[in-house]
Structure 1
Amino acid sequence: MTTATSAQGTPTVAVLGTGIMGSGMARSLLRDRLPVRAWNRTRSRAEPLAAHGATVTDTAEEAVRGADVVLTALNDGPSVAETLTAAAPGLRPGQVWLQSSTVGLDATTDLAHRAAGLGLVYLDAPVSGTKQPAEQGALTVFVSGPSGARATAQPVLEAIGQRTVWVGEEPGAATRLKLVANTWVINLVNSVAECLNLAEGLGLDPQLFLDAMKGGPLDTPYLQGKSAAVLSGDLSPSFALSTALKDSRLILDAAEAAGVTLDLVAASAERFTRAEAAGHGGQDMIATYYAGRPGGREAAKNRPSDEM
């Protein structure tokens, strides 16, 4: 199986979805001199990419027409399915579809069936990383799908990631690995938040805890970085709390189907839910910190429903 590429042998990439991750990946592609056609449902979020050399389109159909690789970076399964339907008139059999959104197991199966119906070469390709790695082309990309598509996809994978982990030929294998990886991250960020909550609740300066951990075997850049974000008040999203909540629910669905009990993820999802209800959904996921502050549970419970 082969697919066509541009005359120079460099694949043209249609990037569908230019939020935090999609825009970062698009800039990484452009930095590696890959032609990019970018689309976002809200066009203004894609417009800044034009200054970097991207062609910004009005429709998903226009973006994918003539592209060699279609890269989706959207929020959830329904968004990806809706975008694929909108793009369908511009798609052609043999195009490689790199589906990087975290959508869960059921949606991955559904999207693979949709891809087959359109004659697309489907690569299940969720990414591990947040805003900065996306901007730097330093993501880890988990990929499963036909090995014959590797040559076409490779320049794209090398541009957006520092590492590609080929998980297998079966669509869904990469998504399963991504859910495991996200379990680690989700539990870790809530552990950081709870330590800060407890330190403050006990009347300690949280920096004392961070200094005590610093340089030791239990220290991590993640602990220091996320704590610094909370203590400085800069909760600009590298990975939005509402997205972390969505992923927590996908993990719990997968665990239930597998007969596995994940007590920590269930507790993390509860904290994310409280923080989102209190108005922190658009902030970085370390805003789960606010779910553990004194009165945090009541503040979320009493928040007017039209603001949730």
Structure 2
Amino acid sequence: MTTVGLIGLGAMGSGMAASLRRAGHNVQVFDVRREVAQAFAAEGGVAHDTLASLGAACDVVVSVVVNAAQTESVLFGDGSTAGCAASMKPGSVFVMCSTVDPNWSVALEARLEGMGLQYVDAPISGGAAKAASGQMTMMTAGKPAAYAVAEPFLNAMAAKVYKLGDSAGAGSKVKIINQLLAGVHIAAAAEAMALGLREGVDAAALYEVITNSAGNSWMFENRMAHVLAADYTPLSAVDIFVKDLGIVLDMARASKFPLPLSSTAHQMFMQASTAGFAKEDDSAVIKIFPGIELPKGKA
């Protein structure tokens, strides 16, 4: 039986690991917070204290960390702690679920292949609730041999697994374009709600009307609910879009392609971050607008 390991039991990773376990797979986990990994294993599965031991035990390793730098650390270590790549068996598959520069993903595939390992470029989308229910989306690219090993696990974690290319890069490009839209939609939603508040419109009434009108977006409906509840608990933090829209702009800059809306949205998230809201939910970008009184939520 093929064994799967998952690294990173955060908002998305914990749900993905649970989906794998629910599908009957032998799930091995690692998280820098050992108590989180142990809590998962108590319900079924194995918690590893080191990345190296997880790598040695698994045929497929799924990485659900924040960015390229953390992925590098997971694979190759951080100078003081070994990563998982050196201990993985030849032919094992590394599935990378972070939002990264597509060119970095292409280079990673070549580096891992040089070590005798296989790679699937597999960014994810859908949020924590869909990850927990196995209903999220995966935007994947990889060689057929890598898919042959990893596909049962991809299908267990996601309702939609899009195969976008037979080598790394295409999955990350599509995810970056998704993040362009997500970031711009959140920024636009915040701007619209802020204007309504400035003009004295009842926030709950505005939300009700917009979510039943043509101006609605998934992001308006989801994120402005956080604003109405005055709940800025970071399901996805402001700094995630500082990073992701930065990658969007880097990709476009390389081919001299103009992205005026993305540039403006990026500046809005940068402003929110430097104003002290970096670790708050990305809906906190609304806090950059002056002269408005935000909803206080229910007492």
TM above 0.5, yes or no, is: yes
Q: Percent identity?
A: 29
Q: For residues 250-282 of structure 1, what are the alpha-carbon distances to aligned partners after superposition, in whole Å with 9 as ceiling and x for unaligned?
A: 111001012211111111111111212233222
Name the residue aligned to 2:297: none
The answer as to 2:292 corresponding to 1:292 is no
After the TM superposition, which parts of structure 1 deviate over 4 Å for at least 4 consecutive aligned residues? none
The answer as to 2:47 corresponding to 1:56 is yes
The answer as to 2:127 corresponding to 1:130 is yes
Name the residue aligned to 1:90: 87
The answer as to 2:24 corresponding to 1:27 is no
One-letter amino acid of the structure 1 residue matched with residue 173 of structure 2 = R
Which range moves more in the overlay, 181-190 or 265-274?
265-274
One-letter amino acid of the structure 1 residue matched with residue 32 of structure 2 = R
The answer as to 2:161 corresponding to 1:170 is no
Q: Which of 203, 206, 219 is 1:206 aligned to?
A: 203
Residues in 1 aligned to 2:219 and 2:99: alpha-carbon distance in whole angstroms: 21
The answer as to 2:116 corresponding to 1:119 is yes
SS state at 2:29 partner: strand
Residues in 1 aligned to 2:261 and 2:156: alpha-carbon distance in whole angstroms: 35
One-letter amino acid of the structure 2 residue matched with residue 284 of structure 1 = D
Residues in 1 aligned to 2:183 and 2:177: alpha-carbon distance in whole angstroms: 10
Cα 1:176–1:214 shift into 2, 3 Å = closer
Q: How many residues align?
A: 287
Name the residue aligned to 2:178: 181
Residues in 2 aligned to 1:99 and 1:116: alpha-carbon distance in whole angstroms: 14
Contact kept? 1:131, 1:239, Cα under 8 Å:
no
Name the residue aligned to 1:3: none
Q: Could you tell me the TM-score, scaled by structure 2's length?
A: 0.90
Contact kept? 1:138, 1:163, Cα under 8 Å:
yes
Residues in 2 aligned to 1:57 and 1:226: alpha-carbon distance in whole angstroms: 35
Contact kept? 1:132, 1:238, Cα under 8 Å:
no
Name the residue aligned to 1:41: 32
Contact kept? 1:127, 1:178, Cα under 8 Å:
yes
User: Once the 2 structures are TM-superposed, how far is the Cα of residue 52 of structure 1 from its aligned partner?
Assistant: 2.6
User: Once the 2 structures are TM-superposed, how far is the Cα of residue 132 of structure 1 from its aligned partner?
Assistant: 1.1
Name the residue aligned to 2:105: 108
Q: Any residues of structure 2 matched to 1:236-251 within 5 Å, and which?
A: 236-251=233-248
Residues in 2 aligned to 1:195 and 1:142: alpha-carbon distance in whole angstroms: 30
One-letter amino acid of the structure 1 residue matched with residue 19 of structure 2 = S
How much is the aligned-residue C-alpha RMSD, in angstroms? 1.8
Residues in 1 aligned to 2:97 and 2:211: alpha-carbon distance in whole angstroms: 34
Contact kept? 2:120, 2:147, Cα under 8 Å:
no
One-letter amino acid of the structure 2 residue matched with residue 190 of structure 1 = A
Name the residue aligned to 1:191: 188
Q: For residues 168-212 of structure 1, what are the alpha-carbon distances to aligned partners after superposition, in whole Å with 9 as ceiling and x for unaligned?
A: 112101111111111111111111111111111122222232233
Q: Which of 251, 254, 267 is 2:264 aligned to?
A: 267
User: Once the 2 structures are TM-superposed, how far is the Cα of residue 221 of structure 1 from its aligned partner?
Assistant: 4.5
Residues in 1 aligned to 2:291 and 2:116: alpha-carbon distance in whole angstroms: 55
Which range moves more in the overlay, 177-186 or 287-296?
287-296
Residues in 2 aligned to 1:262 and 1:52: alpha-carbon distance in whole angstroms: 46
Q: Could you tell me the TM-score, scaled by structure 1's length?
A: 0.88
SS state at 1:246 partner: helix
Residues in 2 aligned to 1:224 and 1:91: alpha-carbon distance in whole angstroms: 43
Residues in 1 aligned to 2:43 and 2:247: alpha-carbon distance in whole angstroms: 34
Structure 1: runs of 5 or more not aligned: 1-5, 297-308
User: Once the 2 structures are TM-superposed, how far is the Cα of residue 116 of structure 1 from its aligned partner?
Assistant: 1.3
User: Once the 2 structures are TM-superposed, how far is the Cα of residue 51 of structure 1 from its aligned partner?
Assistant: 2.8
